[in-house]
Amino acid sequence: MKIGSYDLRISLLALSVVALFAVILAVTVLITNDMSFLIWGVPALILLFVIPLALNYMSQKEYADLEPVYREKAKTVRIRLINESMIGQVVRVEGVVEQVHFQFLNRPSYVVADRSGEISVKMFTSPPERVKKGDIVEAIGTVIQRYIMTGDPVINCVVIKKIDKKIESRKKE
């Protein structure tokens, strides 16, 4: 579903909840022959569908508003240079997406690698464009620790976009 410039996606988990609730509501009405369940059931079913859409819209809008600020502050770095002393800094990395996790929850996590190393790039909303394994991307975000007070550095991503860049490989001679 598209609202304005935002491509809204409902997670598979949220759709499963709506479907499960719809089945339970239908079975309850069929077994009891009591149509009064529909008075509260149908609006609840609609809300179970609309609330995740609204949350996705709000988070995408917030991230889009933050993009210019992060682009201005971001410092381009090689992945291997990211360490604990950089926590809290805004960075820009470019690399190849090696793995994609949790896209079905609209909270994707990517493993992005350049020639110097790899790092986990986490987003807390779905990006404007679908990023998949093998894409060359630019990721901008804040360096944080993987777990609240401990763990290796990861990037809390605000912007991840495919870029038109070719991967140069060494030629065997």
Domain range list for the chain: 2-72, 75-162
Scan for tokens 């609202």, then name that residue: 3
Q: Which range is least confidently modeled, 5-9, 55-59, 92-96, 130-134?
A: 5-9
Closest CA to 117 of 162, 78, 75, 160: 78
| 121 torsion bin: left (phi>0), alpha (psi -120 to 50), beta (else) | beta
Residue 104 pLDDT exceeds 90: no
Q: Which range is least confidently modeled, 47-56, 124-133, 158-167?
A: 158-167
Burial 144-161 (b: 16+ CB within 10 A, else e): beeeeeeeebbbebbbbe
Domain 75-162: homologous superfamily in CATH: Nucleic acid-binding proteins (2.40.50.140)
- Biggest alpha carbon distance in the chain? 79
Q: At a CB cut-off of 8 Å and minimum separation 6, what does 47 contact?
A: none
User: pLDDT tier at 167 (50, 70, 90 boundaries)?
Assistant: low
User: pLDDT tier at 170 (50, 70, 90 boundaries)?
Assistant: very low
| pLDDT score recorded for residue 28 | 94
| pLDDT score recorded for residue 168 | 53
pLDDT digits (tens, 9 = 90+) for 65-88: 999 999 999 999 999 999 989 999
pTM of the model: 0.77
Residue 171 pLDDT exceeds 50: no
- Measured between alpha carbons, how far is 82 from 100 in angstroms, rounded to an integer? 20
Q: Which two tokens stand for residue 143?
A: 């360096």
| pLDDT score recorded for residue 169 | 44
| Amino acid, res. 110 | Y
- Cβ atoms of 33 and 155 within 8 Å: the answer is no
Outline where DSSP puts E strands in 73-151: 75-76, 90-101, 109-114, 117-122, 136-145
Closest CA to 124 of 1, 3, 2, 11: 11
User: pLDDT tier at 40 (50, 70, 90 boundaries)?
Assistant: very high
Q: pLDDT over 90 for what percent of the chain?
A: 60
Scan for tokens 């992060």, then name that residue: 70
User: Between 5 and 45, where is the model more confident?
Assistant: 45
| pLDDT score recorded for residue 173 | 45
